Amino acid sequence: MSRINEDWEPDCIEDELRGWAFQGNIRRAVAGKKGRKFLLELEAALLALPQKRLVRGAMAASEGVGGFDGKPIVATGDVCALGADAAARAVSTGKPRDAVLRELAEKFDPEEDGWALTQEAAHHLNICHPLAYAVVWQNDLSYHLTPEERYEKMLAWVRAKLKGEPEY
């Protein structure tokens, strides 16, 4: 299940205006002082991952999901970009990585409503919701990417934002 709603269409002009306002909030959050600080932290968390792979649709994978060839697409212990940051923060306090990943997988159920889940992740990481949404959007956007390609794409996106490149 995706944490972003790609099929959303506004029912009325008010909904469309709220959508545009949220897009502005995303741009400001990514470019702002706190956003840049978080992106630096996210870059470090991505670089520190033991396996350079990111999953989509979940903060942390609690069990492997098999592919057509029998190889796991999602290995136990894989994380998304926000999960990488959350795990890095918890591990830096001395918690074992395996325990942290289990806690993340239990706390952030990917079957829950994606909007609420993104808000909960933002609260957990002490960042604003538009910033969390931008990271989730970039992480989950491409269905066709392998976990390794998703990692490279996210790292490139974070670095582009740190350089001040426009658009989220």
Average pLDDT of 4-15? Answer: 57
Residue 136 banded pLDDT, cuts 50, 70, 90: very high
Residue 60 DSSP one-character state: B
Asked if the structure places residue 7 within a domain, the reply is: no
Tokens of 18: 């709220």
Lowest mean pLDDT among 36-45, 47-56, 108-117: 108-117
What pLDDT, on a 0 to 100 scale, did the predictor assign at position 68?
41
What pLDDT, on a 0 to 100 scale, did the predictor assign at position 28?
85
Decide: helix, strand or coil at residue 161: helix
Lowest mean pLDDT among 72-86, 96-110, 138-152, 153-167: 72-86
**Does residue 82 contact residue 121 with C-beta atoms inside 8 Å?**
yes
Q: Pick from 165, 129, 155: which is nearest to 25 by CA?
A: 129
Query: Which residue in the block uniquely carries the two structure tokens 């325990």?
Result: 99
Average pLDDT of 104-122? Answer: 87
What pLDDT, on a 0 to 100 scale, did the predictor assign at position 3?
53
Instruction: Indicate the Cα dihedral angle 64, 87, 26, 43, nearest 10°.
Output: -100
Residue 108's domain comprises 21-162
Asked if the structure places residue 36 within a domain, the reply is: yes
- Quick one: what percent of the chain has pLDDT higher than 90? 50
What pLDDT, on a 0 to 100 scale, did the predictor assign at position 53?
94
Asked if the structure places residue 107 within a domain, the reply is: yes
Look up residue 9 and give its amino acid.
E
Asked if the structure places residue 26 within a domain, the reply is: yes
Asked if the structure places residue 75 within a domain, the reply is: yes
How far apart are the C-alpha atoms of 86 and 121, rounded to whole Å?
9
What pLDDT, on a 0 to 100 scale, did the predictor assign at position 154?
96
Model confidence pLDDT, tens digit, residues 55-102: 988 899 866 544 444 444 455 789 999 999 999 999 999 999 988 998
Residue 8 DSSP one-character state: -
Asked if the structure places residue 95 within a domain, the reply is: yes
**74 beta partners:** 65
Is pLDDT above 90 for 50? yes
pLDDT, greater one: 149 or 98: 149
pTM of the model as a whole? 0.81
Is pLDDT above 80 for 133? yes
- Farthest-apart Cα atoms in the chain, separation: 50
What pLDDT, on a 0 to 100 scale, did the predictor assign at position 18?
61
**Does residue 19 contact residue 115 with C-beta atoms inside 8 Å?**
no
* Domains in the chain, number: 1
**Does residue 80 contact residue 140 with C-beta atoms inside 8 Å?**
yes
Asked if the structure places residue 84 within a domain, the reply is: yes
Asked if the structure places residue 11 within a domain, the reply is: no
